[in-house]
Amino acid sequence: MVAFYENGFTIRSLSLMQHPDKAGTFRRFRAGSAMSLAGAGANRDDTSMKRFLAAAVTAAALLGAGGAGAQTRYVEPPPVMVSPDLSAPWVLQLRQAQRVQPRQIQRQRVVRQAQPQYRQAQPVYRQQRQVVQPQQVRPQQQAALAARAPAKPKPQIDPIYLPQVVEYSGPHGPGTVVVDTANRFLYLVEAGGKARRYGVGVGKEGFEWRGTEKITRKREWPDWRPPAEMIAREKKKGRILPVHMKGGPANPLGARALYLGSTLYRIHGTNAPWSIGQAVSSGCIRMRNEDVMDLYNRVSVGTKVVVL
């Protein structure tokens, strides 16, 4: 058997051995088939060329359209003009196309029911009385409480005992110190019938004295050495006095002291200004610290002091 192929087409399969009488027929068929195949090939080439040209034209058109689209992609489109004639058929079609059936929304009416308000009753608490048991206070605690307690207001001095210049018609000359124990005044006699008057505290009953002395010493913030008789006397009253106390604000002699002759008496200041105008001392003449400092600067050692 012999198979003949032309351009991929099977022409015929024959067996010359079995059919020798058909050899001529086979040759004629072969020649006709070759011509037919040649014509078919030509037609096929024309069809392929046409298809190629059509594809090229289509590609060119697509490229042209794509380029134009790319160039006009960001160009603002022209505004849409609507015809003023609303009865135009295309306008009616547009309106019918855009007609949207409105959705019917059923609004449910919400009715708020007033809820009853309940006021919660506040519980009433009764405060129980607390019974405080008295506590025993130790002596140290008593001292601390006494220190914290507000100090009692101290009595004020009578304004009549404040320093002032007054008329003086006594027999003593200028520069003399005159102490009026009955009226609790001390005068420093000045010229022209004037005197500077100060309020003083004098000796209590049994400690009064009268006489004339001279100032023999002057001391600022003097030390205090109470005499033995005073220490023993105050001890009987339950008050213990120190043998010696340095000068300072707590010292009973105050800021200044003027010693009188060889006696134990002095004109001095005090840390208890409210006692001015009273008879409370053991014989000394006490003044306010401000006043004794002023007098201290106005007199000198040797000044005459008359106690009436």
Boundary of a domain, candidates 42, 61, 80? 61
pLDDT of residue 182: 93
Pull the structure tokens for residue 175.
């520069």
Judge if 294 and 188 occupy the same domain.
Answer: yes
pLDDT tens digit sequence for 121-146: 666 666 666 655 556 656 666 666 66
Residue at 296: amino acid letter: Y
Does residue 57 lie in a domain region? yes
Closest listed residue to residue 220, CA positions, set 253, 246, 245, 257: 257
* pLDDT at 11 (0 to 100): 42
Same domain, yes or no: 302 and 163: yes
Number of domains comprising the chain: 2
What's the confidence (pLDDT) of residue 211? 94
Question: Residues in the chain with pLDDT < 70?
Answer: 1-48, 59-155
Q: Are residues 165 and 28 in the same domain?
A: no
Question: What integer pLDDT is reported at residue 8 of this predicted model?
Answer: 43
Look up the pTM and report it. Answer: 0.51
Chain length of the chain: 308
| pLDDT computed for residue 10 by the predictor | 44
Let me know if residue 168 belongs to a domain: yes
* Residue 135 forms part of a structural domain: no
One domain, residues 185 and 300: yes
User: In the prediction, which pLDDT does 111 show?
Assistant: 52
Residue 156: predicted pLDDT: 74
Residue 176 lies in a domain: yes
Establish if 127 belongs to a structural domain. Answer: no
Rounded-to-integer distance, Cα 255 and Cα 222, Å: 7
From 45, 61, 77, the end of a domain falls on 61
Give yes or no: residues 42 and 171 share one domain. no
Q: What's the token pair of residue 87?
A: 């009865």
In a domain, 27, yes or no: yes
- Is the same domain home to 164 and 303? yes
pLDDT at 127: 63
Q: Is residue 141 in a domain? A: no
Between strands 304-307 and 177-180, the pairing is parallel
Question: 186 with 299, same domain?
Answer: yes
- Residue 216's domain spans which residues? 159-307
For residue 214, the domain's CATH number is 2.40.440.10
User: How large is the C-alpha radius of gyration of the chain?
Assistant: 71
Q: How far is Cα 259 from Cα 280, in angstroms, rounded to an integer?
A: 19
Res 227: pLDDT: 85
Domain stop point among 61, 79, 112: 61
Evaluate whether residue 133 is within a structural domain. Answer: no
